Amino acid sequence: MLRRPGNIAVGKKAVNEPKPILIDLPDETATAGLAVKLASAARVGDVLALGGELGTGKTVFARAFIQARAKAPEEVPSPTFTLLQTYDLDGGMVYHFDLYRLNAPEEALELGVEEAFAHGIALIEWPERLGPLLPEGRLGVTFAYAQTADSRRAALSPAGSWPGRLREAGLA
């Protein structure tokens, strides 16, 4: 189910920011389905900022996204300990960052985030750890716990060319 909250107010003036698109995900299969749709809409140069608390579905989403881009159910390990996993796929490189253990945004430069932003598709778990290095034209995908133990809610915050691509993918 899609939901759209209203404008936000800043001071006395309403700001017409792109509204997040809220999607109810009843289970992991639905989370994977969202990932497949976004994988088909993604292209080289895209950044997907995957936010949310521990256990809300960021890695489930990333795994399904990578498997959809690979067009195969290959093993997709979590980069929790390595911070980065790369996948050289037919449609271009996919960089999967897990920045939970990052102490400062500058450490991400050593991991190659700039190369990922320019030459691949970057999936970034814990994107707030990048601070000012996080690109503006990204798609924010924030996961939250919902009403049942298995259900989640995703909030898509599109910027750049993402609003049109989300419409084309049937997500807006």
Extents of the domains making up the chain: 20-167
Can you give the pLDDT at residue 8?
36
One-letter identity of residue 1: M
Residue 75 confidence class, pLDDT cut points 50, 70, 90: confident
Residue 140: strand, helix, or coil:
strand
Residues with Cβ < 8 Å from 82, sequence gap 6 or more?
A: none
Q: In what order do the strands lie in the sheet with 84-89?
A: 2-3, 21-25, 152-158, 139-145, 47-52, 120-125, 92-98, 84-89
**Superfamily of segment(s) 20-167:** P-loop containing nucleotide triphosphate hydrolases (3.40.50.300)
What does pLDDT average to over the chain? Answer: 88
In this structure, what token pair is assigned to residue 127? Answer: 């994107």
Q: What is the pTM of this model?
A: 0.87
What value does the mean pLDDT take over residues 60-64?
A: 95
List pLDDT tens digits, range 101-156.
999 999 999 999 999 999 999 999 999 999 999 999 999 999 999 999 999 999 99
Q: Are strands 120-125 and 47-52 parallel, antiparallel or unpaired?
A: parallel
Task: Determine what percent of the chain is predicted with pLDDT higher than 90.
Answer: 78
